A and B are shown apart, each in its own frame.
Chain A
Amino acid sequence: MIFNFIFGRHKSDSKAGAQALSDLKVGESAVLSELEVSPPIAEHLMNLGFVPGLVVKVLRSGPGGDARVYRVDGTEVAMRRDLSRHIHVELLGAPAFGD
């Protein structure tokens, strides 16, 4: 599934393996790598489980494709694309920790 994802899409502005969370399709998973957001927002996201190293999965998208619901380590969280495109994920590799 992950390989289909990598080779099935053309995204010139990002190197293979590193993507924004907003680029994932519904049903796909990736490992969180970096939160490129202001410190209070990053803090809130990490409290909810969006910690670099954990696996995030796109569960479903709301009406109009925005906001989408993600799952990290058992917590389901909704957010818009305007935020998820600042959250970077790694497509390859096993999670650094957790499950």
Chain B
Amino acid sequence: MGVSTMSCHAVAQPRDEALGSYRTIAVVGPPNSGKTTLFNRLTKLRQKVGNFPGVTVEHHTGYIRDANGEEVALIDLPGVYSLTPKSEDEKVAVDVLTGKMPGTAAPDAIILVLNSTNLHTHLVLAARVIALGLPTLVLLNMADELHNQHGHVDVLSLARELGTPVALVSATTGEGLIAVQNFLSSASPSPEPLELPVMGSARGYREWAVRVGQNAGYRRPATPVWTARLDALFLHRIWGPVVFGLVVIGVFQVIFALGQPLSNFLQKFLDTTGVQIGNHLPAGMFQSLIVNGIWKGTGSVLVFLPQILLLFLVIGILEDSGYLSRAAVIADHTMSRVGLNGKSFIPLLSAYACAVPAIMATRTIESKRDRMATILIAPFMTCSARLPVYTMVIAAFLPNHPLLGPFLGTRAAAMLGLYVLGFLMAVLTARLLKSTILKSKDAPFILEMPPYRWPTLASLGLRLVDRGKAFLYRAGTVIMLVSLLLWAATNFPMHHGQPPAVQDSVVAKVGHAIEPAIRPLGFDWKIGVGLLTSIAAREVIIATLGTLHGVDPESHATDLQAALKHELTPAGAVALLIFFAFAMQCMSTIAVVRRETNGWKWPVLQFTYMTAVAYLAAFAAYNIVGHFTH
């Protein structure tokens, strides 16, 4: 944002009386009002959009131009039902609207987005927002759905009732959005305050909303037939869980069957490009830095991009279509047994892609203790960064034999086993937390079921661009930095202007220093270096081992898998897999937990707990498997 509250007001007082233009406009609306889609449409800014109540957990800012070509800032707020902050989302919204959000200018106008197909419920929020006294434009969204289902509302009467401009719009088709431009250029310096009746109780608000609706000739549209039909199937006692299971399997099938070949293709492309770049550079330290340090290190992470994008695409489709809310109802039955509720299901499913967005998504869980428990178990879910590590180690040690015909091979079974292992540890940890430090009465599970809708390509596309950027940014910064550090550690100290043999390098010294601690797990110093560098991000261990073996004369010609086989016993390989299943090796996750819990207490506790579990489990696995393989 950059504009502070102070400077905004300094400008706001003398300005615009003649010009009549707003500088900062807050976009407010209840969950499922299509607010985010509208925001994207107006600003062309990438931002998540979803059907699941409360999916927008951070407010985003976008810019549009008014008739004079002046830039106006639009702040997209989390979806709220009221202005009495109950969850984090509502607190964010209230803070911004009242100008209490640090670093965000107090808005000088409000665009209130309401769902025209559910006007009574949403008008309650309108009463509270209009009462703030800021110039407000009320947009009745989903006009297309209202008309298709034979609903009706008289916009002029409603505008008279509310004392604000009102427009019937559709964020998906763009219908009626000219109202926003009109609003921008008709800014009045002092809004006419709406004489709202004194309404102390929620019932008072609701009675007012129903009366206003009646005066505006509001006729609610019929429930879409398809929503009722689909719910009869998706929430069916027997078919509901079956569909749920199929959806979860389908998600993973897409990730593996479609994502893996794409990743392999990208890997080949990156390898070839790396060689070509090397050919254009003079041989020496610089070439080594670029090709072995930067390109290989960053490239080894880039190869996940297809899988991560595919997962976000699939979750995006489920979310936008409305199925995810039904999945939460199905999952609630199971989640309640570990002391959590269905709302934890969405963050936990996202954690299979990446724990970072998953932990951010926990903001929709109202109960603080449930939210904390979900944050603490999310990194046990097998995130996509573990995949390449699993794939590499399993491929090196386990020949692929069919187990169930063409459907399941030994390697896929091993992979599935690791997923189950992570899930079981998450459940165990949840039980542990909910019966000790995070004990609480079950928080009530209250979830709105939006009607089913077709996800729009634009909204899915924007989300993918957003996610892709976030991931590339991570790969481009943290992981490149670690790649560089590691390259330096393997190429120094120099001898007569030449890099040292790997056993004399800095990295070897660090690896040797920690070897006694990891020897009981069957790991040597090279794996030790990998474990250290993978604290940056799990997948970095592959780049590390690649670098270590790339410069190691003994295994120079062999590929990484063969090198691994040379270095680990089968028992050590199992121990390594289990260590990766349980350990919290991810700087980004640690950073996001610190941010979300507002302190170092929880991330430190979590890191210590997960590392201890990983160490003990790997130790046990090494000894048990070692006993049988000798």
Nearest chain B CB to A32 CB, angstrom units: 10
| In contact, A73 and B444 (Cβ under 8 angstroms) | no
B360, CB-defined interface residue at 8 Å: no
| In contact, A63 and B444 (Cβ under 8 angstroms) | no
**Which of B81, B121, B236, B241 meets A44, CB within 8 Å?**
B81
The interface residues of chain A lying within 8 Å CB-to-CB of B235 are 60-63, 69
| In contact, A48 and B444 (Cβ under 8 angstroms) | no
| In contact, B231 and A83 (Cβ under 8 angstroms) | no
Complex CA distance for A75 and B328, rounded to whole angstroms: 17
Nearest chain B CB to A77 CB, angstrom units: 5
| In contact, B445 and A63 (Cβ under 8 angstroms) | no
| In contact, A64 and B444 (Cβ under 8 angstroms) | no
| In contact, A97 and B207 (Cβ under 8 angstroms) | yes
A79, CB-defined interface residue at 8 Å: yes
Nearest chain A CB to B346 CB, angstrom units: 14
B274, CB-defined interface residue at 8 Å: no
Residues A62 and B330 in contact in the complex (CB < 8 Å), given A49-B121, A73-B121: yes
| In contact, B121 and A76 (Cβ under 8 angstroms) | no
**Which of A54, A59, A82 meets B444, CB within 8 Å?**
A82
Interface residues of A (CB under 8 A from B): 37, 40-49, 51-54, 59-67, 69, 73-80, 82-83, 97-98
The interface residues of chain B lying within 8 Å CB-to-CB of A61 are 235, 237
B186, CB-defined interface residue at 8 Å: no
| In contact, A66 and B333 (Cβ under 8 angstroms) | yes
Closest A residue, CB atoms, query B241: A63
Closest B residue, CB atoms, query A73: B120
Complex CA distance for A7 and B223, rounded to whole angstroms: 31
| In contact, A64 and B442 (Cβ under 8 angstroms) | no
Closest A residue, CB atoms, query B84: A43
Beyond the given A53-B206, A67-B333, A74-B121, please list 8 additional residue pairs across the A-B interface where CB-CB is below 8 A. A43-B202, A62-B329, A63-B241, A63-B330, A66-B332, A73-B220, A79-B445, A80-B336
Residues A43 and B342 in contact in the complex (CB < 8 Å), given A69-B329, A78-B329: no
Nearest chain A CB to B201 CB, angstrom units: 9
Nearest chain A CB to B245 CB, angstrom units: 11
The interface residues of chain B lying within 8 Å CB-to-CB of A76 are 448-449
B489, CB-defined interface residue at 8 Å: no
| In contact, B329 and A43 (Cβ under 8 angstroms) | no
Interchain Cβ contacts under 8 Å between A and B, 21 examples: A40-B86, A40-B366, A43-B82, A44-B81, A45-B446, A48-B81, A48-B448, A54-B206, A60-B232, A61-B237, A62-B329, A63-B235, A63-B238, A63-B330, A64-B237, A74-B117, A74-B220, A77-B447, A78-B325, A83-B446, A97-B207
Nearest chain B CB to A25 CB, angstrom units: 15
Complex CA distance for A89 and B207, rounded to whole angstroms: 18
B505, CB-defined interface residue at 8 Å: no
The interface residues of chain B lying within 8 Å CB-to-CB of A63 are 235-238, 240-241, 330, 333
Complex CA distance for A51 and B203, rounded to whole angstroms: 6
Complex CA distance for A76 and B228, rounded to whole angstroms: 11
Q: Digit string of B163-206 for contact with A (CB within 8 Å is 1, else 0)?
A: 00000000000000000000000000000000000000011001
B118, CB-defined interface residue at 8 Å: yes
The interface residues of chain B lying within 8 Å CB-to-CB of A40 are 86, 366
- Give 5 closest A-B pairs by Cβ, nearest first: A47-B81, A46-B202, A76-B449, A51-B206, A83-B444
The interface residues of chain B lying within 8 Å CB-to-CB of A41 are 444, 446
The interface residues of chain A lying within 8 Å CB-to-CB of B438 are none
The interface residues of chain B lying within 8 Å CB-to-CB of A60 are 231-232, 235
| In contact, A67 and B445 (Cβ under 8 angstroms) | yes
B interface residues, how many (CB within 8 angstroms) = 42
| In contact, A69 and B449 (Cβ under 8 angstroms) | yes
| In contact, A67 and B120 (Cβ under 8 angstroms) | no
| In contact, A80 and B121 (Cβ under 8 angstroms) | no
Chain B stretch 233-291: residues in CB contact (< 8 A) with chain A: 235-238, 240-241
The interface residues of chain B lying within 8 Å CB-to-CB of A48 are 81, 121, 446, 448
The interface residues of chain A lying within 8 Å CB-to-CB of B305 are none
Closest A residue, CB atoms, query B221: A74
| In contact, B81 and A37 (Cβ under 8 angstroms) | no
| In contact, B84 and A80 (Cβ under 8 angstroms) | no
Closest A residue, CB atoms, query B239: A63
| In contact, A53 and B203 (Cβ under 8 angstroms) | yes
The interface residues of chain A lying within 8 Å CB-to-CB of B236 are 63
Closest B residue, CB atoms, query A42: B202
Residues A78 and B81 in contact in the complex (CB < 8 Å), given A46-B202, A97-B210, A98-B120: no
Q: Digit string of B22-34 for contact with A (CB within 8 Å is 1, else 0)?
A: 0000000000000
The interface residues of chain B lying within 8 Å CB-to-CB of A66 are 332-333, 336
B124, CB-defined interface residue at 8 Å: yes
The interface residues of chain A lying within 8 Å CB-to-CB of B328 are 78
Complex CA distance for A46 and B267, rounded to whole angstroms: 54
The interface residues of chain A lying within 8 Å CB-to-CB of B117 are 74
Nearest chain A CB to B225 CB, angstrom units: 14
The interface residues of chain B lying within 8 Å CB-to-CB of A79 are 444-447
Closest B residue, CB atoms, query A35: B202
Nearest chain B CB to A47 CB, angstrom units: 4
Closest A residue, CB atoms, query B228: A59
The interface residues of chain B lying within 8 Å CB-to-CB of A62 are 235, 237, 240, 329-330, 332-333
Closest A residue, CB atoms, query B237: A63
Closest A residue, CB atoms, query B128: A47
Complex CA distance for A59 and B234, rounded to whole angstroms: 13
The interface residues of chain A lying within 8 Å CB-to-CB of B333 are 62-64, 66-67
| In contact, B446 and A44 (Cβ under 8 angstroms) | yes
Nearest chain A CB to B578 CB, angstrom units: 33
**Which of A43, A51, A65, A80 meets B445, CB within 8 Å?**
A80
Complex CA distance for A53 and B120, rounded to whole angstroms: 14
Q: Digit string of B214-232 for contact with A (CB within 8 Å is 1, else 0)?
A: 0000001001000000011
Q: Digit string of B321-339 for contact with A (CB within 8 Å is 1, else 0)?
A: 0000100111011001000
Complex CA distance for A82 and B121, rounded to whole angstroms: 24
The interface residues of chain B lying within 8 Å CB-to-CB of A43 are 82, 84, 86, 202
The interface residues of chain B lying within 8 Å CB-to-CB of A97 are 206-207, 210
Complex CA distance for A32 and B365, rounded to whole angstroms: 26
Chain B stretch 276-316: residues in CB contact (< 8 A) with chain A: none
Complex CA distance for A45 and B81, rounded to whole angstroms: 10
With most chain B CB atoms within 10 A of its CB, the pick from A40, A47, A48, A76 is: A47
The interface residues of chain A lying within 8 Å CB-to-CB of B81 are 44, 47-48
